[in-house]
Amino acid sequence: MNREGSLKAFARAKQLIPGGVNSPARAFGAVGGQPIFFESALGPWLTDIDGNRYIDYIGSWGPMILGHSHPRVVKAIQETAAKGTSFGAPTELESQMAELIMAMVPSMERVRMVNSGTEATMSALRLARGHTGRDKIIKFAGCYHGHVDSLLVQAGSSATTLGVPNSPGVPRGSTQDTVLLEFNDCQGLQDAFMNFPQKIAAVILEPIAGNMGLVLPGKEFLRLARELTSQHGSVLIFDEVMTGFRLAQGGAQEILGVTPDLTALGKIVGGGLPVGAYGGRKEIMEKVMPAGPVFQAGTLSGNPLAMAAGIATLSELRENPPYAKLEQLAQTLTQGLKELATAAGIPHSLNRVGSMWTLFFTPQPVTDYRTAKTCDTRQFSQFFWAMMDRGVYLPCSQFEAAFNSIAHDEGIVQKTLAAAEGAFAQMGK
- By annotation, the residues acting in catalysis are 144, 239, 267
Q: Does 29 bind ligand PLP (CB under 6 A)?
A: no
Hey, is 164 helix, strand or coil?
Answer: coil
Instruction: Tell me which of 36, 55, 202, 242 binds ligand PLP, using CB under 6 A.
Output: 242
When asked if residue 206 is in the footprint of ligand PLP (CB under 6 A), the reply is yes
266 touches ligand PLP by CB under 6 A:
yes
CA 368/CA 360 separation, integer angstroms:
12
Separation CA 351–CA 353 (nearest Å):
7
Site for ligand PLP in 43-102 (CB under 6 A): none
| Residue placing its CB nearer to ligand PLP in the complex, 258 or 417 | 258
Choices 34-42, 160-168, 178-186, 236-244 (CB under 6 A): range interacting with ligand PLP: 236-244
Rank residues 206 and 316 by Cβ distance to ligand PLP and give the closer one: 206
> Can you give the three-state secondary structure of 318-378, one letter per residue?
HHCCCHHHHHHHHHHHHHHHHHHHHHCCCCCEEEEECCEEEEECCCCCCCCHHHHCCCCHH
**144 is an interface residue for ligand PLP by CB under 6 A:** yes
Which 8-state DSSP code applies to residue 402? Answer: E
Strand 53-56 and strand 392-393: the pairing is parallel
Candidate list 211, 362, 367, 382; residue touching ligand PLP; CB under 6 A: 211
Binding part of the chain for ligand PLP, among 35-43, 144-152, 326-334, 357-365 by CB under 6 A, reads: 144-152
In this chain, which of 3, 68, 126, 145 binds ligand PLP, going by CB under 6 A?
A: 145
Interface residue with ligand PLP among 239, 254, 400, 421 (CB under 6 A) is: 239
If one counts every other C-beta atom within 10 angstroms of the C-beta of residue 115, the result is 21
35, 28 in Cβ contact below 8 A?
yes
Q: Which residue is nearest to ligand PLP (CB)?
A: 117
d(C-alpha 274, C-alpha 324), whole Å: 27
Binding mask 98-127 for ligand PLP (x = CB under 6 A): ------------------xxx--x------
Stretch that binds ligand PLP, among 26-34, 141-149, 255-263, 338-346 (CB under 6 A): 141-149
Instruction: Pick between residue 55 and residue 275 the one whose CB is nearest to ligand PLP.
Output: 275
- The interface region with ligand PLP, picked from 83-91, 234-242, 344-352, 409-417 by CB under 6 A, is 234-242
Cα distance between residue 78 and residue 309, in whole Å: 10
Closest to ligand PLP by CB, 67 or 210 = 210
Q: Assess contact for 382 and 276: CB atoms under 8 A.
A: no
**Residues 6+ positions from 278 with CB-CB distance below 8 Å:** 111, 112, 114, 120, 121, 123, 124, 127, 262, 263, 264, 265
Main-chain dihedrals φ then ψ at residue 21, nearest 5 degrees: -135, 160
Task: Considering the complex, state which of residue 211 and residue 397 has its C-beta at the smaller distance from ligand PLP.
Answer: 211
Could you give the strand order of the β-sheet that contains 38-42, starting from the edge strand earlier in sequence? Answer: 38-42, 45-48, 53-56, 392-393
- 400 contacts ligand PLP (rule: CB under 6 A): no
Among 146, 217, 272, 304, binds ligand PLP (CB under 6 A): 146
**In the complex, least distance from residue 206 CB atom to ligand PLP, rounded to whole angstroms:** 5
Farthest CA pair distance, the chain: 64
Q: Which residues bind ligand PLP (CB under 6 A)?
A: 116-118, 121, 144-146, 206, 210-211, 239, 241-242, 266, 276
